[in-house]
Amino acid sequence: MNTNDPQIVLGTMDFGTRVDRDRAFAILDSFVAGGGRWLDTANCYSFWTDPSGVGGASERVIGAWLRARPGLRDRVRIATKVRQNPLVPHSWPQSAEGLSARAIGAGVEQSLARLGVDHVDLLWAHAEDRSAPLEETVGAFGELVAKGVAGRVGAANHAAWRVERARSLAREQGVEPWTALQLRHSLVQPRPLTPLAEAGHRMLAAEDLDLARAEGLSVWSYSSLMWGAYGRADKPMPETYDHPGTARTLAVLEEIAGNLSATPNQIVLAWLMRQGIDPIVGASRVEHVEEALAARHVRLDDEHLTRFAEAR
């Protein structure tokens, strides 16, 4: 697992839909001014809230922001994803794009046009597509790296064994392998074997971390702050998190946050980074960005980690 200098990643999923352009620009400006570098988006964001029924709004906002801020492209790194964007408006998952070579190529070309860039720094396979041969998917991703269209490639919401199989195929083909994982993870955990309400989400598991540590892969986590549930009484934890371990963990979180003069959100982000994980933080206001970036200065020691592990 690549544990060097974990970073806060700005999640831009709601840009252009729930977060209008002006507010998104202010958030992006604040993030860069505070030393943030990585922006995470996807070609399907956010088809479920966009009246058009397809994605692309987030990438278009980032592209407009880059055009309005000449020179900033060199200061930010852009990660986007292919797989999941509906090819027919309001028809998902029936018309969701897959991971054939043709779909990957078309998806990336459209993303670059919306972003107004000639390359992305990290390209994710957003979800598995078992209808496409894995050899074909791996080859298409590797070709994009060889062409300079993608700096690196990674797998989001993939089973660990599929990632390792893909990496083996990449070695056989002599192309760049997936070197990053993106999965859902936070301090609190749902009840074991309980289905998640969010379609397409895949939880970070022990085997994913084992693979990452063995192979030196980066790990990014999403839904890191549980949609605001750590710090807002009006944002309760989802029902699948209603168990004694959550209550114990939240009690420890409150105590440690008080002792370190930090917010619960900052402690959660520090906990993730302490493990070498890069947390993605979705922000709808500038103050969210400022709070998240300040978590880089929160220091958790081994005793804190032990207390959290025993609470769960």
Cβ–Cβ under 8 Å, residues 10 and 31: yes
Residues 88-109: pLDDT tens digits? 999 999 999 999 999 999 999 9
pTM comes to 0.96
The residues spanned by each domain of the chain are: 9-236+268-299
Residues 114-161: pLDDT tens digits? 999 999 999 999 999 999 999 999 999 999 999 999 999 999 999 999
Cβ–Cβ under 8 Å, residues 150 and 144: yes
Between the alpha carbon of residue 11 and those of residues 36, 136, 170, the distances in Å are 12, 29, 29
Rounded Cα distance, 138 and 152, in Å: 12
Cβ–Cβ under 8 Å, residues 278 and 38: yes
User: Rg of the chain over CA atoms, in angstroms?
Assistant: 19
9-236+268-299 belongs to CATH 3.30.413.10: no
- The end-to-end CA distance of the chain, in Å, is 23
pLDDT tens, the chain, 312 aa long: 887 789 999 999 999 999 999 999 999 999 999 999 999 999 999 999 999 999 999 999 999 999 999 999 999 999 999 999 999 999 999 999 999 999 999 999 999 999 999 999 999 999 999 999 999 999 999 999 999 999 999 999 999 999 999 999 999 999 999 999 999 999 999 998 888 888 889 999 999 999 999 999 999 999 999 999 998 888 899 999 999 999 999 999 999 999 999 999 999 999 999 999 999 999 999 999 999 999 999 999 999 999 999 998
Rounded Cα distance, 277 and 295, in Å: 13
Tokens for 73, please give them: 């492209």
Q: Which amino acid is at 3?
A: T
